[in-house]
Chain A
Amino acid sequence: MKTVAGAAGGFAKEFTCLRRGAGFGILAFILLVLLTGEVAWAQESAQSAEGDNGCLVCHGQEYLGSVEVDGAAQDLFVGPEAYEESAHGLLPCASCHIGFTHDNPHQMVTNAEFFAETAREACRNCHADQFEMYQQSYHGELSRGGVAGGVLAPGCTDCHGMHQVQRVDTLEYRQDIQQICGQCHGGRTDTFLDTYHGKAITLGREASATCVDCHGSHFILPTTNPMSTLSEANHLDTCQTCHPDADEGFTSFLVHIQPTSTDAPLIVFAVAIFYISMIVVVFAFGGIHTLLYIYRGLKNGLYFGKGGHH
């Protein structure tokens, strides 16, 4: 609305030469046109999420971004454009918010936790394969058992979001994966991002590996589990999906090491420490030498051809 008023203000200035009454008349007319345009646009986008049961007429308004529900501030805003662009842009809201109807949208909301549960569980109705795999994975097992080490196991919406579910075959999503896993596996993510694979995917090389190319996305298991994509038996196959010529030796490449930590293999640690020391010593010596040389050069007036050479 601010932009509408701003534009109208601009127009108003142009009409100052007209008589006041006429000016106001025209201003009112422009405002009317702009406002109806705005309303028409809002309706259009609300309807374009085909069969969204009209939910976006209310939930597409930004002022629903912070409402108080049972005394707690909640974000009830669902961006119409972002929703439309998401992989679910054509789904009616009620495909996940089962039971919400146009006639009485919120009869379900008697129990907020129940509604949320329903929405989260809805994924499986349409993505049964992913759900099955997830159930058997380590994350799935954890989600039934609850908490491990103070971190919650990720559910579908932790990795995909709820109203802005991205297609997974894009570069952007492949780049996001590292951050998604990184919310809970920060250390592993940092080490991975220091390898060639991690740098290359960060800087936009789509063909490089992401966490899930090695670990799997839904059927993630500890590497000690024989079924893991990185178990002794499967490790090489996993690398070979992108490195067809690799053989057994390839698999002892370490993806998650911090070269300057004592957990790293001794040779890696030694090389890293050697170089850090070299860099410090050489740069310090070079820096001091350079500064002193410049100092002497200036002091003796050698720079601009004045003093001779000594």
Chain B
Amino acid sequence: MAAGTDALEGVRLVYRRFSAFHRFNHYLVMISFFGLVLTGIPLKFKDSLWAEFFMGLIGGVEGAGFIHRVMAVFNFTYFFLEMGYMSWYVAARKGPIFGPDSIVPSKKDWQDIKGMFRWFLGRGPKPRFNRFTYWEKFDFWALLAGTFLIGGTGLMMWFPEFTTSFLPGVSLNVALVLHSNEAFLATGVIFIFVHFFSAHGRPESFPADEVIFSGSLPLDHYIADRPAEYENRLRAGTLDQVVRPAPTGPMTRVNSWLMVVFSAVALFAATYTMLLVVWPLLF
């Protein structure tokens, strides 16, 4: 599907969805998230037979702790970049904050949820999505809030002596419970239920959606997947802001390869987590 072509007046056109900045930030998210999960989850599920094995692979508890901290710095980097971008977007009035193109939840999202369930059950047409679907919005805001909570509590545990110089020691108990559970929640959301499904598992993107690597997707795919945005733009005459000739050159190859590599890493990370989580439940 990702390799689809559209011959509109002989030129292959694509819809440009993500800027270089957003793609760069997504790389930071992927790398740091994989790194943090790989080094954090074995500690949480220490009773699994696999925990010791994986810990050995990543340098023991000390080694894992070190990688966890390096990846945490990546994590803070993307968090602050995204916050900076959002502040700039709002302050410089780069675009509307609410409305159909926005990542901010709206009433239509609620209607879309109900519409999707009707469609699932064969009782109506598939809702016509705007630029961001409700699950994409959930993904985005959950990750942003999660990063804030998990990062904050992570820092507290990283520097426990400093934390307790102004907070009571029990705050570290809260930090551990919050960090550990939020990490598990985020891992489930990203790896299993929401994000990977959205990127790999749902029919529109199966077996993998290249858009976050290449930045753009074939026009026909776009029109089918985000019909409401397409029509809005058609009406408002803003289609030329997002439609352009397909990029050519070596970068397109590189992007495809990166997609394959990161999908493989993602598959590994999901398997790894499942082994750690499910194993102690069975044995």
Q: Which of B1, B44, B181, B197 contacts A290 (CB 8 A)?
A: B197
Choose, from A48-56, A224-232, A271-279, the stretch at the interface: A271-279
Contact between chains at A310 and B160 (CB < 8 Å): no
Q: Which of A199, A200, A268, A287 contacts B174 (CB 8 A)?
A: A268
Contact between chains at B181 and A272 (CB < 8 Å): yes
Q: Which of B44, B178, B192 contacts A286 (CB 8 A)?
A: B192
Contact between chains at B188 and A253 (CB < 8 Å): no
Q: Which residues of chain A are near B189, meaning CB under 8 Å?
A: 282, 286
Q: Which residues of chain B are near A297, meaning CB under 8 Å?
A: 202-203, 206
Contact between chains at A310 and B125 (CB < 8 Å): yes
Contact between chains at A268 and B177 (CB < 8 Å): yes
Chain A residue at minimal CB-CB distance from B188: A283
Taken residue by residue from 246 to 259, chain A's Cβ proximity to chain B (1 for < 8 Å, 0 otherwise) reads as 11011111100101
- Interface status of A21 (Cβ within 8 A of chain B): no
Q: Which residues of chain B are near A246, meaning CB under 8 Å?
A: 160-161, 164
Q: Give complex CA distance A253, B170 in Å.
A: 5
Q: Given A199-B43, A246-B161: A293 and B120 within 8 A (CB)?
A: yes
Contact between chains at B160 and A204 (CB < 8 Å): no
- Interface status of A196 (Cβ within 8 A of chain B): yes
Q: Which residues of chain A are near B188, meaning CB under 8 Å?
A: 279, 282-283, 286
Contact between chains at A293 and B197 (CB < 8 Å): yes
Contact between chains at A199 and B46 (CB < 8 Å): yes
Contact between chains at B161 and A250 (CB < 8 Å): yes
15 A-B contact pairs sorted by A residue (CB < 8 Å): A193-B46, A204-B60, A205-B62, A243-B160, A250-B161, A268-B174, A275-B181, A278-B181, A279-B184, A282-B188, A286-B194, A289-B116, A289-B135, A299-B122, A302-B203
The 10 closest A-B pairs by CB, nearest first: A286-B193, A309-B224, A253-B169, A297-B203, A252-B169, A302-B203, A275-B181, A205-B61, A249-B164, A292-B120
- Interface status of A24 (Cβ within 8 A of chain B): no
Q: Which residues of chain B are near A252, meaning CB under 8 Å?
A: 164, 168-170
Main secondary structure of the interface of A (DSSP, over half): helix
- Interface status of A45 (Cβ within 8 A of chain B): no
Chain B residue at minimal CB-CB distance from A240: B161
Q: CB within 8 Å of A: which residues of B?
A: 1, 42-44, 46, 51-52, 55, 60-62, 116-117, 119-122, 125-126, 135, 157, 160-161, 164-170, 172-174, 176-178, 181-182, 184-185, 188-189, 192-194, 197, 201-204, 206, 224-225
Q: Give complex CA distance A202, B42 in Å.
A: 11
Q: Which residues of chain A are near B194, meaning CB under 8 Å?
A: 286
Q: Given A205-B61, A295-B120: A282 and B174 within 8 A (CB)?
A: no
Contact between chains at A267 and B174 (CB < 8 Å): yes
> Least Cβ distance of B188 to chain A in Å?
6
Q: CB within 8 Å of B: which residues of A?
A: 193, 195-196, 199-200, 202-205, 208, 243, 245-247, 249-254, 257, 259, 264-265, 267-268, 271-272, 275-276, 278-279, 282-283, 286-287, 289-290, 292-297, 299-300, 302-303, 305, 308-310
Given contacts A250-B164, A293-B120, 5 further A-B contacts (CB under 8 A): A243-B160, A246-B164, A247-B165, A252-B169, A297-B203
Q: Which residues of chain A are near B46, meaning CB under 8 Å?
A: 193, 199, 202-203
Q: Which of A204, A276, A296 contacts B119 (CB 8 A)?
A: A296
Contact between chains at A205 and B177 (CB < 8 Å): no
Q: Give complex CA distance A296, B52 in Å.
A: 41
Contact between chains at A253 and B173 (CB < 8 Å): yes
Q: Give complex CA distance A245, B8 in Å.
A: 68
Q: Give complex CA distance A200, B60 in Å.
A: 9
Q: Which residues of chain B are near A279, meaning CB under 8 Å?
A: 181, 184-185, 188
Q: Give complex CA distance A309, B223 in Å.
A: 9
Q: Which of A196, A245, A250, A303 contacts B203 (CB 8 A)?
A: A303
> Least Cβ distance of B256 to chain A in Å?
18
> Least Cβ distance of A79 to chain B in Å?
26
Q: Which of A272, A289, A294, A303 contacts B177 (CB 8 A)?
A: A272
Contact between chains at A249 and B126 (CB < 8 Å): no
